[in-house]
Chain A
Amino acid sequence: MSEAKPFPEEFFNAKTTASQTETLGVVIGGSLADGVLVRLNRQTVVEGLRVGSYIAAQGQTGRTFFGYISDVELSTFNAALVPPDESTLRRFAYEASALNKVVQVKLELVSENNELRTARSVPAHFAIVRRLTKAEAQRIFSSQESRSHRLGYLLDDKDVEVRLNLQQLTERSTGVFGRSGTGKTFLTLPLLASIIQHQVANVLVFDMHNDYGYNLKGDGNSQRPGLKRLSNIQDRVVVVTLDERSSMRRSSGYEIALKIGLDEIEPEDLETLRDVLGFNEAQISTIHVLPKLFNPERWIYVLAGRGTGEEKQRLAKLFDSGQLVESTFNAIQRKLNRLLNFEFITEKSTGAVDKVINYLSTNRSVVVEFGEFGRCTAAYVLVANLLTRRIHDTYVMLKEEAEAQGSDDSPHLVIVVEEAHRFLDPKVANLTTFGTIAREMRKYNVTLLIVDQRPSQIDREVMSQIGTRITFALSDEQDINAVVTGLRDSQRLRLMLASLDSKQQALVMGHAVKMPVLVRTLDYDQSVWRAYAHSLDRLTPEEQLAKSLQMIRPQVEADLL
C-alpha cells in the first residue's frame, strides 16, 4: 500500500516550519554546478517551499548535504490532462502520477565526520531530501563563538538565530547594501556595538547622518540609543563632532570638536573630490603642481585665497609667465571656496586629528558626527578621506612595528562609511585610501564596513574584495547585478534578493556565513540595547548620577561659554 496518510487534510496543510524534518522528495538528477533536481513527494506542498528554503539531502555514506532551494518548477508528463475541478480523488491521482513538482537545490555544504565543508559532490539518485533539523540549522547559521553577533533569525524559521562570528566578519571588509529605509543603519549600529563590546576591533564611524553617536532616529519621532548611550561600551566610545552647533542643538555630547587645519590638506585629498566638485583633468594637474610652485606648506593657503602679499605677487607672475593658467586656478578656487570656509577648517592644525588617531590606537572607538555638514558631500568626502589616510598610515606603522617585535597584537580597526560609493567610485577608488584598504584587505588590520544604497557605483575590484555582503532589498537592476556578479550562482542569488521585503530582510553571503542566508534582522529595541547596557542598571544611584553628569558635561561647558 502506498505510504499515503489521511487525505486530503495533510495535502492542504502547508508545513512551512523548518523544524519539521519530514521527507520532501528524492534526488532525480542535476549537477553540483547547476543544482540537483529534487522531485517532491505528492504530499509536499510546493507553496510551502520558497526559494531560499534550506534543505538537507541524506547521502549514502553517512554524509549529509546541505543547500537551499534555488528554483521551483511544475510540469506535467501529460499535456492533454483533463484538469480536475474540485474533485479530490482525481486531483490526487494526477498529483501522484502525471504532475511533476521539481525543485532545484543548490548544495553548499556537506557534513562528513562531523565537520562542515564546502560540497564538492552530489548525493546519488533517490537520495532522500528533507528539511533541516533545528540542530542542523543552528550548527550552520548560529556561530557558537562567544564573540559573535546576533543579526536576526532565519526568514524561514524564527526559531533559528543567525549569529555571525565577529572575528571572521571583521577579518575582511563588509558591505551593507540596500535602498534607503531598508534597515541598513539599524542593522549596523548594534553590529558595531557587538564589535566594540567583544573587543574584536576598534571602530571609526563616519556618521554623515548623525545616527551612531547618541540618538538613532527611527520612523516617526522615535529615538534609540547610539553607541555612546550603551552603557556597557560607552567608556570605549568617543564622539567627535565637526559641527558643534548641531551637536548642541541635538543635545548630543561630544569629547572633541574635530577641526581640520588647512595645513593638513594634501593635493590627494582634493583630488578625491574630483567627482563631487567636478574638477577636470587640467584642474587636477594644477592642484598637483601647486606644492611645487609654492612652498609645500603654503600652497593651500594660496589656493584658499589666504596667501601673503608676497605669495600673491608670485601667483600673478606665474599667471603672466603662463606657468599657471589663471582661469583654471580661479575655477579651482571657486569650487573650493565654500568647503575651505566651513567652520571646521582652521588656519592651522589644532591637533584634533592626532587626538582621533590617538584614541583609535588606544582601544577606543570614534564616531565622527558631521552635523549639518553631513549634507555637504564635499565636506564628508574630504574629512573622511583625510582622516582615513592618516589613520591608515598610523596603522601600517603600528602593524609593522608589531611585526618587527614579533608580536601580533596591534589593534584592529573597522572603518564605517555610509554612502561609500563617494569614496569607492571607479573614478576615485584608486585615489582614496578607502580603495587601498579595500584592496589590501586585512594586511594592516584595517577593514571597511561600507554602507551604501548604490552598490553599482562602487568600483568593481573593490566589490570583489568585500568579504561579507549583507544586502537588503534593492530595486535598481544594476545595483542587484553589482552585488551578485562575480559570485558563483549569481542568478540564484538574484532570485533570493528579489524575494526580499522592503524592510528588515536581508541576504547575507560571503566570508562570515557558511552559505547564503536570508535573514529577518533583529528589531533594534529595548531587549537589544539592554544587552549592551548592563552596567547602568547595576550602578548605585550616585554612580548613575556621576555617569549622567559625565555624559552631559561637554554640553554644560559649552553652554557656560
Chain B
Amino acid sequence: MEATHGQNASGVGEALNGRVIRSSIETFVFGTRVPEQATPACGSLVKVSAVNEKVTLIGVIYDIAVQENALTRMIARASSEDLRGEESALREQAFVEGSVLCLGYLDARGRARYTFPAQPPWLLDKVLNCEDDEIRRFTSNPRFLVPILRSRAIGLSYSRLIVATIERAASLHADRRAFIESCAEELARQLSDRPVELDDLLRELEVLYE
C-alpha cells in the first residue's frame, strides 16, 4: 500500500509517508521527515493499513508539531554564513509529528464504518495520505463528522478542524454544494443543543458554499 502518487487532493505536494510513533484507540501520532512545502495539513485524511491488512483505518490530522533537533538551536543562534548549508538541509528535512484523530475505517469490503477499529494502529505502521477515491467514499456519509464533535482530544478547536476537513473533502465531490449541505444538516442535528456554536460553524461553512 505504498502511496505512489505525487499529488493528492488534499493539496499536499508529496504523498505523506510517515510512521506511527504513539497510538491509542482514539488518537495516534505519526512522525515523518518532510520538506516544508510537504508538511501535512490539518484536516487532511490519512490512512493506516492495519497489520492484518483487513481494514484501513482512516483518521484526520488535527495537530502538527515540527520538532527541533540538536542543530536547530545552534543554527538559530548562529550569525555566520558557515551554517548556511546545514540550514537548508535542516529545513529540507524537518522532523514533523502529526496528531491524528481516528474517524473510522474502511472494512474488508471497502465499506466506510464510522466507529473505532478494535485495535489501535501499531508502532511504526505506515501512515499515508488517503487517495481521492477513499476520501470520497469515506466522506459520502456526513457521519464522518461525529467523532470530531465527540472527541475529548480535540476539545474546543473542533470547529476549525471541521471546517478544514469539509473544505478539503468538498473539492472531491462532484456536487460540492450538496456535499456541504449534507454536512451542514448533520451538524445542525448534532449541535441542536448548542445553537450559538452551530451558527458560528455554519457561517464558516457558508464561505465554502458560495
Whether the Cβ atoms of B140 and A89 lie closer than 8 Å is no
Interface string of A264-294 (1 = CB under 8 A from B): 0000000000000000000000000000000
Q: Determine if A82 is an interface residue (Cβ-Cβ < 8 Å).
A: yes
- Cα A442 to Cα B194 in complex, Å, equals 66
Knowing A2-B178, A89-B180, the reply to whether A97 touches B185 (Cβ < 8 A) is yes
- Cα A557 to Cα B177 in complex, Å, equals 84
Whole-angstrom distance from the CB of A46 to the nearest CB of chain B?
Answer: 18
Tell which of A4, A5, A6, A90 touches B202, judged by Cβ atoms closer than 8 Å. A90
Whether the Cβ atoms of B179 and A1 lie closer than 8 Å is yes
Tell which of A5, A82, A88, A92 touches B185, judged by Cβ atoms closer than 8 Å. A92
Whole-angstrom distance from the CB of A94 to the nearest CB of chain B?
Answer: 6
Tell which of B178, B188, B192, B196 touches A4, judged by Cβ atoms closer than 8 Å. B178
A-chain residues with CB within 8 Å of residue B182 when the two chains form the complex: 1-2, 4
B-chain residues with CB within 8 Å of residue A89 when the two chains form the complex: 180-181, 184, 202, 205-206, 209
Whole-angstrom distance from the CB of B98 to the nearest CB of chain A?
Answer: 28
A-chain residues with CB within 8 Å of residue B209 when the two chains form the complex: 88-89
Q: Determine if A12 is an interface residue (Cβ-Cβ < 8 Å).
A: no
A-chain residues with CB within 8 Å of residue B196 when the two chains form the complex: 80, 82
A-chain residues with CB within 8 Å of residue B54 when the two chains form the complex: none
A-chain residues with CB within 8 Å of residue B205 when the two chains form the complex: 89
Question: Who on chain A is nearest to B136 by CB?
Answer: A1
- Cα A93 to Cα B190 in complex, Å, equals 11
Q: Determine if B46 is an interface residue (Cβ-Cβ < 8 Å).
A: no
B-chain residues with CB within 8 Å of residue A93 when the two chains form the complex: 181, 184-185, 187-188, 198, 202
Question: Who on chain B is nearest to A99 by CB?
Answer: B188
- Cα A142 to Cα B196 in complex, Å, equals 53
**Interface residues of chain B: helix, strand, loop or mixed (majority):** helix
Report A1-40 residues with CB < 8 Å from chain B CB. 1-2, 4-7
Q: Determine if B160 is an interface residue (Cβ-Cβ < 8 Å).
A: no
Tell which of A42, A82, A88 touches B199, judged by Cβ atoms closer than 8 Å. A82
Q: Determine if B141 is an interface residue (Cβ-Cβ < 8 Å).
A: yes
A-chain residues with CB within 8 Å of residue B184 when the two chains form the complex: 89-90, 92-93, 96
Whole-angstrom distance from the CB of A454 to the nearest CB of chain B?
Answer: 52
Whole-angstrom distance from the CB of A25 to the nearest CB of chain B?
Answer: 16
Tell which of B141, B177, B179, B195 touches A82, judged by Cβ atoms closer than 8 Å. B195
Q: How many of chain A's residues touch chain B, expressed as a range?
A: 20 to 34
B-chain residues with CB within 8 Å of residue A92 when the two chains form the complex: 181, 184-185
Q: Determine if B77 is an interface residue (Cβ-Cβ < 8 Å).
A: no
Q: Determine if A78 is an interface residue (Cβ-Cβ < 8 Å).
A: yes
- Cα A42 to Cα B193 in complex, Å, equals 20
Report A385-440 residues with CB < 8 Å from chain B CB. none
Question: Who on chain B is nearest to A78 by CB?
Answer: B192
A42, A88, A94 interface centre (most CB from chain B within 10 Å): A94
Q: Pull 28 A–B residue pairs with CB atoms less than 8 Å apart, ordered by A.
A: A1-B141, A1-B182, A2-B178, A2-B181, A2-B182, A4-B178, A4-B181, A4-B182, A7-B177, A42-B185, A78-B193, A80-B195, A80-B196, A82-B195, A82-B196, A87-B202, A87-B206, A88-B209, A89-B184, A89-B205, A90-B184, A92-B184, A93-B188, A94-B188, A96-B181, A96-B184, A96-B189, A97-B189
Residues on A facing B (Cβ under 8 Å): 1-2, 4-7, 42, 77-78, 80-82, 87-90, 92-94, 96-98
18 more CB-based (< 8 A) A-B contacts, given A1-B140, A89-B180, A97-B192: A2-B182, A5-B178, A6-B177, A6-B178, A7-B177, A7-B178, A7-B181, A77-B192, A87-B206, A89-B205, A90-B184, A90-B206, A93-B188, A93-B198, A96-B181, A96-B184, A98-B188, A98-B192
| For the complex of A and B, 3 pairs with smallest distance between CB atoms | A97-B188, A93-B184, A93-B188
